Structure 1
Amino acid sequence: MKKVLMYSTRFCPYCVMAKRLLQTKGVAIEEIRVDEDGSRRDEMMRITGRRTVPQIFIGEVHVGGSDDLHALDRAGKLDALLHD
């Protein structure tokens, strides 16, 4: 299974929903909390061009946020991306 990296904050409902979906798939998530270190939010913005959390990477692929992740799952593409 590919490495999953998620930029998140502690009280973000979208982060919780994304983590819950990934956990149902048996995925271990490396979480970077941007609310604990502002330089990590700057890093996230440089890499993704986005300010909102979560920002999710599966392997080297930037999936986007929670809505994007759930859309991939509904389309039947998330499992293939996780196991590529």
Structure 2
Amino acid sequence: MSHHPVDIYTKFGCGFCVRAKRLLDEKGVDYTEHDITMGGPKREEMLERAPNARTVPQIFIGDTHVGGSDELAALEREGKLDALLAG
């Protein structure tokens, strides 16, 4: 379904991350998960893409920074997520 690449930055044991991935899975969206539990270069990449991000998940659809799980769910409730995914 997704035409834009979807990236999600997560940490082990994060319930909000599980919730966001479940929504994407239910919609049949392919995404790339970056586990930043131990920090490292992917955490630095996330902070470069979203300098004020202090929590996970951080979700990107193409170049658009969606935010976290709550923001993703809000887009779905508002009927805006499919359009963002399709571009």
TM-score (norm 1): 0.91
State the distance in 2 between where 1:39 and 1:60 align. 19
Q: Assess if the C-alpha contact under 8 Å between 1:44 and 1:51 holds in 2.
A: no
Q: Assess if the C-alpha contact under 8 Å between 1:9 and 1:53 holds in 2.
A: yes
How many corresponding residue pairs?
84
State the distance in 2 between where 1:47 and 1:27 align. 21
1:59 counterpart (47, 58, 62):
62
State the distance in 1 between where 2:40 and 2:15 align. 20
State the distance in 1 between where 2:10 and 2:55 align. 9
Q: Assess if the C-alpha contact under 8 Å between 1:41 and 1:51 holds in 2.
A: no
Aligned to 1:16: 18
State the distance in 1 between where 2:26 and 2:54 align. 26
Q: Assess if the C-alpha contact under 8 Å between 1:4 and 1:59 holds in 2.
A: yes
Matched AA of 1:28: D
1:3 counterpart (5, 10, 25):
5
TM-score (norm 2): 0.88
- Name the % identity: 52
Measured on the aligned residues, the alpha-carbon RMSD in Å equals 1.2
Shift of 1:44: 1.4
Map Cα deviations across residues 18-67 of structure 1 (whole Å, 9 max, x no partner): 00000111011101111134332232123212110000001111100000
Matched AA of 1:19: K
State the distance in 2 between where 1:4 and 1:41 align. 16
Extract unaligned runs of 5+ from structure 1: none
Aligned to 2:31: 29
